[in-house]
């Protein structure tokens, strides 16, 4: 009984100091999250994309995603995929760029029983696409649980991440995007694949894009030329 009590106390102490340190050093926490992600330099994963946007009926898309250095990604699919780039490209830039962005602690917040550190990432100039980013980070596991990124081009995209099989690499099993329908750009090539029935009175302002990821292959060999072989992806 005493051993159990001491164990719980140690967990509390570790949690307390981890959160306190993260609040005082948001840039260090971002570095730790990025360091975990960097363990998987190149990887592939099977993905299923489910789109729920107003007036659009689109069948789930099965694809394979390839990522290298967390800067380049490519979807190997025969169909046009609908994905906000904030979830893959800009997110990783925010973690690594200490020159063009400033990181500020905002608060602690509990998301689905996980106590997170909320960090605002603010551009140092207004010339880029990103206006403001907010990151909810699980400081203990050093993973991002939620993001809210506002850009000039696509409005605000909220994203939630769920982890399981690849938590050690900071890679999620599920990603869910909540997008601003008015500003979200749907590829023109999808016009033959969608159903736009409905009335303006019932149109929702937001849509959901869900990405399920499984069968990760970590640190595989993929040539740089592969990411440039098809400009559509």
Q: What are the residue boundaries of the structural domains of the chain, listed by start?
A: 2-228
Give the span between the Cα atoms of 189 and 221, in whole angstroms.
Answer: 31
Beta carbons of 139 and 29 less than 8 angstroms apart: yes
Strand ranges of the sheet holding 174-180, from the earlier edge strand across to the other edge: 72-76, 61-68, 42-52, 206-218, 174-180, 155-162, 143-151, 130-138, 114-123, 101-111
164 pLDDT exceeds 90?
Answer: yes
160 pLDDT exceeds 60?
Answer: yes
219 pLDDT exceeds 90?
Answer: yes
pLDDT band at 148 (very low <50, low <70, confident <90, very high): very high
pLDDT band at 229 (very low <50, low <70, confident <90, very high): low
Beta bridge partners of 132: 150
213 pLDDT exceeds 90?
Answer: yes
With respect to CATH, is domain 2-228 assigned 2.60.120?
no
What is the average per-residue pLDDT within 137-159?
A: 90
Residue 23 has what pLDDT?
57
Query: How many C-beta atoms lie closer than 10 Å to residue 94's C-beta?
Result: 23
Residue 120 has what pLDDT?
95
Mean pLDDT of the chain: 80
Find tokens 């098809």 and name the residue.
230
56 pLDDT exceeds 90?
Answer: no
Instruction: Tell which wins on pLDDT, 54 or 199.
Output: 54
What is the average per-residue pLDDT within 120-125?
A: 91
Give the span between the Cα atoms of 62 and 88, in whole angstroms.
Answer: 18
Residue 212 has what pLDDT?
96
pLDDT band at 3 (very low <50, low <70, confident <90, very high): very low
Residues 39-64 as b/e (b if ≥16 CB within 10 A, e otherwise) read ebebbbbebebebebebbebeebebe
77 pLDDT exceeds 50?
Answer: yes
42 pLDDT exceeds 90?
Answer: yes
- Take residue 191 and report the two structure tokens written for it: 């016009």
Long-range contacts of 16-25 (CB under 8 A, 24+ apart): 18/139, 18/140, 19/108, 19/115, 19/117, 19/139, 21/139, 22/105, 22/117, 22/137, 22/139, 23/105, 23/108, 23/117, 24/105
87 pLDDT exceeds 50?
Answer: yes
Beta carbons of 150 and 156 less than 8 angstroms apart: yes
Most confident of the following: 16-25, 53-62, 116-125: 116-125
Residue 89 has what pLDDT?
61
DSSP string over 154-193 = TEEEEEEEE-STTGGGT--SEEEEEEETTTPPPPGGGGGT
């Amino acid at each position: 009984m005493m051993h159990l009590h001491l164990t719980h106390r140690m967990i509390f102490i570790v949690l307390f100091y981890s959160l306190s340190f993260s609040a005082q050093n948001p840039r260090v926490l971002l570095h730790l999250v990025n360091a975990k992600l960097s363990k998987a330099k190149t990887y592939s994963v099977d993905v299923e994309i489910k789109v729920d946007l107003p007036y659009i009926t689109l069948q789930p898309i099965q694809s394979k995603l390839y990522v290298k250095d967390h800067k380049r990604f490519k979807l190997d699919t025969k169909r046009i995929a609908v994905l906000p780039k904030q979830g893959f490209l800009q997110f990783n830039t925010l973690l690594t760029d200490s020159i063009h962005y400033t990181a500020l602690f905002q608060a602690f917040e509990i998301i689905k029983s996980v106590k997170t550190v909320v960090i605002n990432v603010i551009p140092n100039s207004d010339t880029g696409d990103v206006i403001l980013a907010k990151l909810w980070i699980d400081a203990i596991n050093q993973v991002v649980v939620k993001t809210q990124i506002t850009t000039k081009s696509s409005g605000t995209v909220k994203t939630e991440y769920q982890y399981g099989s690849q938590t050690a690499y900071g890679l999620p099993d599920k990603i869910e995007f909540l997008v601003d329908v008015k500003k979200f750009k749907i590829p023109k090539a999808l016009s033959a694949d969608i159903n736009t029935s409905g009335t303006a009175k019932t149109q929702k302002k937001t849509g959901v894009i869900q990405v399920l990821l499984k069968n990760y292959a970590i640190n595989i060999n993929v040539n740089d030329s592969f990411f440039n072989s098809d400009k559509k992806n």
